[in-house]
Structure 1
């Protein structure tokens, strides 16, 4: 019997390959059906499970379980079809996105089955889990010398081994090309002739690659906060860093015009420079967790996080309290019980999608100097530098590396904030150029990441396009919406 079992797999694989070549079988049919049940979080939403190959190149090898949530169209008689949604990250849960009943407009909820499929390695879909202690020990990408650079590579190799030991083969196959195969398998399992996609941030890459790979089964695609998956390592680092510096500059401008900014009237770049010097010297106290200290990397990362919404009001308070530690007395966080494992899909996904060779320490240090000259306040994009540094020494080569997109076969809608710290407006312009005349870029003239969540004007344009496939006029834009204070102090 063991002989028969040993022979069965290559024979069946050969049959599948021949059938695929002849057009009888699509590779996605290696996946199983979807099993649905009521979601425990919301009885109006169905939760589904589907098994797919861990490695689409080995359809009869180990499998993984993908999980999803489906919010069915509330007006079945006028149902258009399925809208696959993804919030990006990488690491954001599309299941949670679909469970959010307030995120999408009422008309979209009436006309579409909204399905959030957690990408492989993320959320509930065979999550990449790693040692919490090891993840917490991640070194700063701002390495000071060659020994630290070698230690960074060794750390990444150790992390990959730890995550693989705890999570299995998904770590080596978490690339977006594999996710696109999963989405196509879901379409086949649902029996839908065509689907629509709304991908935000890193989720836009799913829409880009699905549209290129399966143009005949795509009805519409919205790319919100657009990833440009064609740039090389230096362009990637420079454009991402320029986007963060732009957001810092916008924060300074806002503080000068809004009387509610607690730093109004102060020289914010000078204050920032003082805090950065104290962080470099190891004397800057975390204003909300004293007596813990903030390093340069932590301070830059705090700014980057604040620019996402943006949280300008609370960030101004944060800087004020950091400059005057006594003002934040009594804000120490509670002790949290230690956790053995933590979700950590970012390096597996990013290193599976990007070839970001930074060279040896000398070349890496030179790149850091270039970025610091480009962005004198923020020094580097925490997102981009974490990605590039996180792939140094990563043992799995990228399965879906960068390439220029083919022209779009159908009309596509791209939306992006003019001042986005994570996916700069330059990326949206570049991707629109790659996709050609079928792509239309709608610019939100404001700030923050994910334009759909910041602008009613953008929501209206997205809804109109998804429902009746009407694109905005060429060069159209939506006005900025000034942020309101929340979470201050």
Structure 2
């Protein structure tokens, strides 16, 4: 063999080795970014049902609370032990639904929506979330499982009457309400077992029944706690995580609601104060709110108003507690937050009807969540012992009684177990996308930043001028879908997030100034 032939052979071998190394490196990168799965995608039977692992999903309709509108889906029966540590005891049925992808051959690993609250059911949250998930459904199936104690999963329901706006200010009434609620739900449930930790075992049992696919978790608000806890407990079961309006694992739910609300409202109202038209119409909205709160604290008002639902003439007692509740919930969304300066200003001038009408609508919209006692099982088991009353909260809009009420309720409500590492942060190289709103009154942006510190493949995107639960806003649905496909939050082109801005305040009930 001459030297030229030897050289060519060495070059070929070197090139082959280089290509082989490159191929091996490419395979290693792909393996790291997309772990293999043995799960199979759902198959459609001749009768129209979907077979997914050991479960058979049949066509069904999901009804939305309040509106009664329905969504076509596929449902399957799913039964679990109420107490996973005593599997021979009482069983409960969980409501399970699948929203089929529009793709011809969706992969086996579905998107799983984990609703907030605590107390919200995934199937009931779906109508408001459908648009946010549309780009994800272009590629993947979506799973909805009502968390135990909510919706169609043995709900812990205790309806309240409409005249209870000030019940939290009466400690004996709080205790009486809690005892009555406990007696009612105990007829069909043991509240100790309706916690986040038990819900994780339900979710893992569902994954096993589906053939052990990897889940793409999407948690909203309290659902971000569930998502983080599940990813900590079953790391190999998770492909990606989206946390929308996230709460850190070490946060005690309710501990800083008061300070967070004041900060969010002041930031929202500062936008109005900086706008010449808004400032001319309302002056200083935060000062107006403080003036109105002080007046209503000293002397609640009986208000005559037109019911916005049936247009009947009705009366309502408007007090400081009702004002705080309305301002808190309206601050969640920029569209409703934009109404607050106007409604507050009108009330300061003596016209309380707009506040009363808005409070009535809010009460109806929030009724299913307000009537759900599963939140007590969660908070009393996971947070109550870490709740410490803060005297400084007395000067906030919510006041200092919020923590006092929770402590009083949890002195009566049965407690479940909390794992020793429950408050430890989520860590590791799991790809995580964390979304938040600049003016979120309950899970502010600093929460998202705290969570991201222990996640090297995590990324935070904050939508300017937005409130709580932002996944459905602007370009975020497409970004979320892109993230689920690539599992690379750091490489997302998120320039579109810079296009968000606050919604101008209503100058009158026709809208904002032109």
Q: TM-score, normalised by structure 1?
A: 0.77
Match of 1:451 in 2: 470
For 2:132 and 2:317, locate their aligned partners in 1 and report how far apart those are by CA, in whole Å. Answer: 41
Structure showing greater radius of gyration is 2
Q: Please give the secondary structure, in 1, of the residue aligned with 2:437.
A: strand
> Residues 383-394 of structure 1: matches in 2 within 5 Å?
385=403, 388-389=406-407, 391-394=409-412
Match of 1:462 in 2: 480
Per-residue CA deviations over 1:244-279 (Å, capped at 9, x if unaligned) read 112211232222245675973423233222211221
Shift of 1:476: 7.0
Per-residue CA deviations over 1:314-359 (Å, capped at 9, x if unaligned) read 223321332234473997779x9xx9x9544322332233234557
Q: Return the match for 2:242 from 218, 222, 228.
A: 222
2:300/2:317 contact within 8 Å kept? yes
Tell me, yes or no, if structure 1 residue 162 matches structure 2 residue 184. yes
Shift of 1:89: 1.2
Match of 1:431 in 2: 451
Tell me, yes or no, if structure 1 residue 187 matches structure 2 residue 207. yes
For 1:379 and 1:330, locate their aligned partners in 2 and report how far apart those are by CA, in whole Å. Answer: 17
Per-residue CA deviations over 1:26-66 (Å, capped at 9, x if unaligned) read xxxxxx96452212345741122200011111112101010
> Residues 77-116 of structure 1: matches in 2 within 5 Å?
77-79=105-107, 81-98=109-126, 102-116=130-144
Per-residue CA deviations over 1:372-420 (Å, capped at 9, x if unaligned) read 35x4xx24499x6487346441331242365112413422111112321
1:443/1:476 contact within 8 Å kept? no
Q: Return the match for 1:306 from 307, 318, 330.
A: 330
Match of 1:284 in 2: 301
Per-residue CA deviations over 1:420-468 (Å, capped at 9, x if unaligned) read 10112222222222x3323222222332101212342x32321111111
Seen in structure 2, the aligned counterparts of structure 1 residues 411 and 386 have a Cα distance that, compared at 3 Å, is: farther
Seen in structure 2, the aligned counterparts of structure 1 residues 306 and 422 have a Cα distance that, compared at 3 Å, is: same
> Residues 33-48 of structure 1: matches in 2 within 5 Å?
34-41=55-62, 44-48=72-76
Structure 2 residue ranges without an equivalent (≥5): 1-52, 63-69, 307-313
Seen in structure 2, the aligned counterparts of structure 1 residues 35 and 60 have a Cα distance that, compared at 3 Å, is: farther
Per-residue CA deviations over 1:184-206 (Å, capped at 9, x if unaligned) read 11111111331111011111111
> Residues 336-355 of structure 1: matches in 2 within 5 Å?
342-355=371-384
Q: Please give the secondary structure, in 1, of the residue aligned with 2:57.
A: strand
> Residues 235-250 of structure 1: matches in 2 within 5 Å?
237-238=255-256, 240-250=257-267
1:308/1:448 contact within 8 Å kept? yes
Q: Please give the secondary structure, in 2, of the residue aligned with 1:416.
A: strand
For 1:485 and 1:192, locate their aligned partners in 2 and report how far apart those are by CA, in whole Å. Answer: 49
2:303/2:353 contact within 8 Å kept? no
Shift of 1:485: 7.1
1:263/1:316 contact within 8 Å kept? no
Q: Return the match for 1:295 from 302, 319, 331.
A: 319
CA-atom RMSD, angstroms? 3.6
Q: Please give the secondary structure, in 2, of the residue aligned with 1:111.
A: coil
For 2:113 and 2:404, locate their aligned partners in 1 and report how far apart those are by CA, in whole Å. Answer: 26
Q: Please give the secondary structure, in 1, of the residue aligned with 2:461.
A: strand
Tell which deviates more after alignment, 385-394 or 323-332. 323-332
Q: Please give the secondary structure, in 2, of the residue aligned with 1:453.
A: coil
Q: Please give the secondary structure, in 1, of the residue aligned with 2:455.
A: helix
Seen in structure 2, the aligned counterparts of structure 1 residues 184 and 153 have a Cα distance that, compared at 3 Å, is: same
Seen in structure 2, the aligned counterparts of structure 1 residues 380 and 399 have a Cα distance that, compared at 3 Å, is: farther
1:98/1:114 contact within 8 Å kept? no
Shift of 1:70: 0.9
Tell me, yes or no, if structure 1 residue 319 matches structure 2 residue 344. yes
Seen in structure 2, the aligned counterparts of structure 1 residues 131 and 331 have a Cα distance that, compared at 3 Å, is: closer
Match of 1:123 in 2: 151
> Residues 345-384 of structure 1: matches in 2 within 5 Å?
345-357=374-386, 364=389, 367=390, 369-373=391-395, 375=396, 378-380=397-399
Q: Please give the secondary structure, in 2, of the residue aligned with 1:112.
A: coil
For 1:387 and 1:79, locate their aligned partners in 2 and report how far apart those are by CA, in whole Å. Answer: 47
Q: Please give the secondary structure, in 1, of the residue aligned with 2:456.
A: helix
1:55/1:61 contact within 8 Å kept? yes
Seen in structure 2, the aligned counterparts of structure 1 residues 53 and 80 have a Cα distance that, compared at 3 Å, is: closer
2:479/2:494 contact within 8 Å kept? no
For 2:331 and 2:340, locate their aligned partners in 1 and report how far apart those are by CA, in whole Å. Answer: 9
Q: TM-score, normalised by structure 2?
A: 0.74
1:52/1:66 contact within 8 Å kept? yes
Q: Please give the secondary structure, in 1, of the residue aligned with 2:110.
A: strand
For 1:348 and 1:136, locate their aligned partners in 2 and report how far apart those are by CA, in whole Å. Answer: 25
Shift of 1:484: 6.2
Seen in structure 2, the aligned counterparts of structure 1 residues 392 and 303 have a Cα distance that, compared at 3 Å, is: same
Structure 1 residue ranges without an equivalent (≥5): 1-31
Shift of 1:299: 1.1
Aligned residues: 431
Seen in structure 2, the aligned counterparts of structure 1 residues 445 and 400 have a Cα distance that, compared at 3 Å, is: farther
Q: Please give the secondary structure, in 2, of the residue aligned with 1:66.
A: strand
Seen in structure 2, the aligned counterparts of structure 1 residues 193 and 440 have a Cα distance that, compared at 3 Å, is: same
